[in-house]
A and B are shown apart, each in its own frame.
Chain A
Amino acid sequence: MKRSHLIAIAVIAIAIGILISASQDMTTYANFAQATAKGDRVKMVGQLVKDRPVEYDPVKDPNYLSFYLRDDAGEVRRVILRAGKPQDFERSEQIVLTGQMRGDVFEASDMLLKCPSKYKDEEVYVRSEKR
């Protein structure tokens, strides 16, 4: 057998090995119900429920944020994130969380905010006085 064939076989074998092991790093997007059923770490996309309390008191603990999230199925649950509250949290249009359910509460380890308004303000500023 030619050496290049051996290399090719080795490459394919390693590739398959990596693929199999890498698949364990995957998770799926889920809503609260699916996350409860799965019991494992999932990704979740939802919106902040603005009329429910957002708890963040840095004087007490700067690493504790609690809020309510509405998932894509419309279900609302409490979420805890053990990190500081991002500056534009209340203005977020969409929140992407990674974490898992602990009882009734979703414990997130990672949060990503989508705030398009931060980059694009669709409001025309009207001058208060002319130039």
Chain B
Amino acid sequence: MQYIGEHLLPGQIGHLLAVLSFVAALLASVSYFLAVRRRTLPDEAGWRLLGRGAFVVHGLATLGIIVALFWILVNKYYEYQYAWANVSDDLPFQYTFSAFWKEQQGSFLLWSFWHIVLGMILLFRAGRWEAPVLTVLSAAEAFIGSMILGLYIGEYRLGVSAFDLLRHTMDAPIFERADYLSQITGNGLNPLLQNYWMTIHPPTLFLGFASTLVPFSYAIAGLWTGEHREWLKPALPWALFSAAILGLGILMGGAWAYVALSFGGYWAWDPVENTSLVPWITLVAGIHAHLIARNTGYSIRSAYAFYLMTFVLVLYSTYLTRSGILGDSSAHAFTEMGLGAQLIAFIGAFAALSIALMAARSKGIPAPKQEEAIASREFWMFIGVLVLLFSAVLITGATSLPVWNKLVQIFKPDYVGAALKDPVAHHNRYQLWIGVFVGLLTGVAQWLRYQERNAAIWRRTFARHMLIALVGAAALTALNALWLNVFAWQHFALLFAAMFAVVANVDYLITFLRKNLKQAGSALSHIGFGLLLLGILGTGLNKHWISSNSFAMEGLIEGMGSEELNKNVLLLKDAPMPIRGYEATYLKDTIERQTRTFAVRFRKRDAQGNPTGEEFVLYPNVMYDRQFSQVVASNPSTKHYLTYDIFTHVSSLPKAELDPEFARQQEDSIRFEAYEAAIGDTIFTKKHYLVLDDYTKAPQHPDYRPEKGDLAFGLKLRAFALDDTVGHAAAPMLYLRPKQGAFTLPAQIGALQMRVRLTEASLARLIDADETLQYRSLRLKEGESAEFEGYRIQLVRLNRNVEHPHYTPEAGDIAVTAELLVTAPDGATAKAAPVFLIRDSRSLNLKDEVAKWGLHFRFENIEPSTATMTILAARASAQARRIPVEIAENAPRSDYIVLEAIVFPGINLVWLGSLLMLFGLGLSAWHRWTQRLRT
């Protein structure tokens, strides 16, 4: 069949480039490999040139694929499955990036892109390391390239192409039509991913992942060429850079989870988080081993091992998150694409290469004959490296349980599998000790010296500064214990270790580095680590839910759950709810596009429950899907203070708000009863009474958008419970819209579970009342008065400025308002403003009323010769003044939200500490890079 309107060219180009990119990466790897093998031989330069050429071609081809895919997404070519699944016509342009790397193919391309950028820098700057390093990097690129090939080799499909056509991936009758494209539209991007975090977090994280390949490649190069010391210098800035960026990527993930998703925290020990944290930990361990090796010659073997391990762990993390094996244990959803086997081959190849090379070259790796001195920095730094290794092994072990279960099930199909009872508690319990040891070691090792030969002389300085650190840490621990809820001795240990790290490193910074801040990277990082631990303690121990009201909820709970679990509170609209330390009120909600935003006001209260005067409004929102049939995301809103945050999100909504069908049924099942009353009267229902205060021709209602030509009427009333004097204002209304008909907008009085509405009978009474009225003419000049049925009517003045609600000005109109002052027998006064209008040489008039007294006025005529106005006045009968209204009681409430509100003390210490740690790494990377260039 010849399909209409398809754009097949970008897809064909993309496909072709994918193959070219893959082949070029292979060629680059092989050429560079031969260039290394044939070092010092005449054809070395030729191979290297070929390798370069192939790598550049690979880079350009990959850029071409990226452009082709982007083109398809930007132009919304829904004939491609990738575009159909991830974008839609109404998707704002800036989210095209999110859509690009949302799926596996796009994120592989992003990863590949960074490898190419880094590879290009290495190609120009790595000098004699270019060939071995790029051999490894190109090989990795070939593996990644194979993931997006989408080639069939017999029955086996190698990779998943980003350019598959929708009609090839899906079987639907619509594809029997040649013009199917004009009938379909894209799915659009999941609203959860429509935010700027999804735009900045993946590129940063993938740059982090990609950059771990550089120290890995240097390590392989060192082992391969046997230049075990020489690679250490050029690789160091790369490793530091990688740790800074990978750390930043992970931190952004935490920040995203915290500020934009309703995960209720920045770290949840989720498998996806863990598997990106572990490579970072091994990388940091590797950097420390690397520094020992650079300065003393010890630990070269460890530096190798950790860098090799880091990249293999990055691959393992990729496997875990992309193969779908985490299924039961992670909240992150990944669509499985059948790449499992290819990913295992990728890990297998790089792990095997690493192990084989390490084994083969292990004997030749140099190390000093003499053991490290106990009083040396390298000894304690190495202990720290081992502690980090423990951390990595523990986290990986626990996170890999699903993999272990799968493996066992291959041999023992009835194996049920093990899982962690409570992952968060488990990880916290063990990682706490990692924090303690690392905190203490950073303080101690900083004050020791590499290859200490004069321990006796240094001992005094060391002891003095350790004393400063111990005393300072003890003081700060005591100080922080004032605000932290520390009870367990383990937490005291962690707090002390954190403070020890801070004091010792600040001391070091002041003593040695204040004149040379370029070298302050390590001290700053370690201070940051200490502050991060303090922040973790604050958010972990002092985090508390304020969204609970045990008093209000008491007796309502079946079986009485423990208070810890009561994290949600129900807020009725406009009803202030006392919660811990605050009074929360759900004020209003507004809808824009698919987002519904709730305004919730918090008023701080003191211990006695009195308001302190401090208040703020938070705006959590929920996002509906495109059909408005369900809520797909609940986004938090957070109040930031310097020392803590108040984090809120809507955890549930009334069913009627989630399900329009249910809402319709519910609305139909409400029973209204008819009543009649005049303005000023009171209606008594079974459980309530209502006072009709006024009648208006310019009503306001949340659902009413006035249009030209509308005739609108509304009531203002107050409703009371029979045994109460607190009035609840309500304003039902109805309006006539030309050519469309009459519409009634009921008023909800949530607190009393009431609905009040006007009906067609009300409309008839309001409009037709005129026919039953007996008008009497009053002839008045400006300023004059007349008596009417005991009321005194004064024509105050005429006004050319007409503001009658039912008056819409037209060109050529002559319109005048008669401003009347009405005085009742009891002295009360009211105003009325009927209008006289000449339009198209016909005289018309617009009436006005004093509804509470049943008085109606028309402005009928002006006699220019005598300056006398004819005002018609009438008083409606008691019966005619009664307005029919319908009232429902026991209407189900749908004006509430269920809110979760959490206080995170010390959250800013988490951000500050992490950023300082990463800044220190970045500073060191920059320092080492410039140093490297100098020699």
Contacts and interface: CB of A to CB of B under 8 A. Distances in A.
Interface of A: 2-4, 7, 11, 14-15, 18, 22, 25-30, 34, 41, 43, 45, 56, 58-64, 80, 82-85, 87-88, 91, 96, 98, 109-110, 112, 114-116, 118-122, 124-127, 130-131
B558 interface: yes
A91 to B, nearest CB: 7
B735 to A, nearest CB: 28
Contacts of B622: 87
B900 A116 contact: no
Which are the 5 A-B pairs with shortest beta-carbon distances?
A: A62-B568, A84-B651, A82-B561, A82-B565, A25-B426
B464 to A, nearest CB: 27
A7 B372 CA distance: 12
A118 B568 contact: no
Given A2-B371, A4-B371, A25-B426, A127 B185 contact: yes
Contacts of B557: 61, 63-64
A2 B372 CA distance: 11
Interface stretch (B413-421, B855-863, B871-879): B413-421
Interface of B: 85, 170, 172, 174, 182-187, 190, 327-329, 331, 333, 335, 371-372, 374, 383, 386, 390, 393-394, 397-398, 401, 416-422, 425-426, 429-430, 553, 556-559, 561-562, 565-570, 622, 630-634, 651-654, 658, 893, 896, 898, 900
Nearest to B420: A25
A87 B183 contact: no
Given A22-B426, A59-B570, A63-B566, A91 B630 contact: yes
Contacts of A112: 328-329, 331
Contact of B568 (A84, A88, A130): A84
Given A18-B430, A25-B426, A84-B900, A11 B419 contact: no
A38 to B, nearest CB: 11
B430 A127 contact: no
A11 B896 CA distance: 57
Given A64-B558, A126-B183, A126-B184, A83 B565 contact: yes
Given A64-B557, A83-B568, A28 B331 contact: no
Specify the main secondary structure of chain B where it touches its partner: mixed
Given A88-B631, A112-B329, 16 more contacts: A22-B426, A26-B401, A29-B416, A43-B328, A43-B419, A58-B570, A59-B896, A61-B557, A63-B557, A63-B565, A82-B561, A84-B568, A87-B622, A87-B634, A91-B630, A116-B333
Nearest to A30: B416
B561 A63 contact: yes
Nearest to B423: A25
Contacts of A14: 390
A71 to B, nearest CB: 12
B567 A84 contact: yes
Contacts of B553: 61, 63
Nearest to A127: B185
A3 B375 CA distance: 13
A129 B128 CA distance: 63
Contact of A96 (B328, B630, B652): B328
Contacts of A127: 182-185
Contact of A87 (B190, B393, B630, B893): B630
A11 B389 CA distance: 10
A125 B329 CA distance: 32
A115 to B, nearest CB: 8
B632 A118 contact: yes
A46 to B, nearest CB: 11
Contacts of B658: 87
B337 to A, nearest CB: 12
A45 B418 contact: no
A120 B329 CA distance: 20
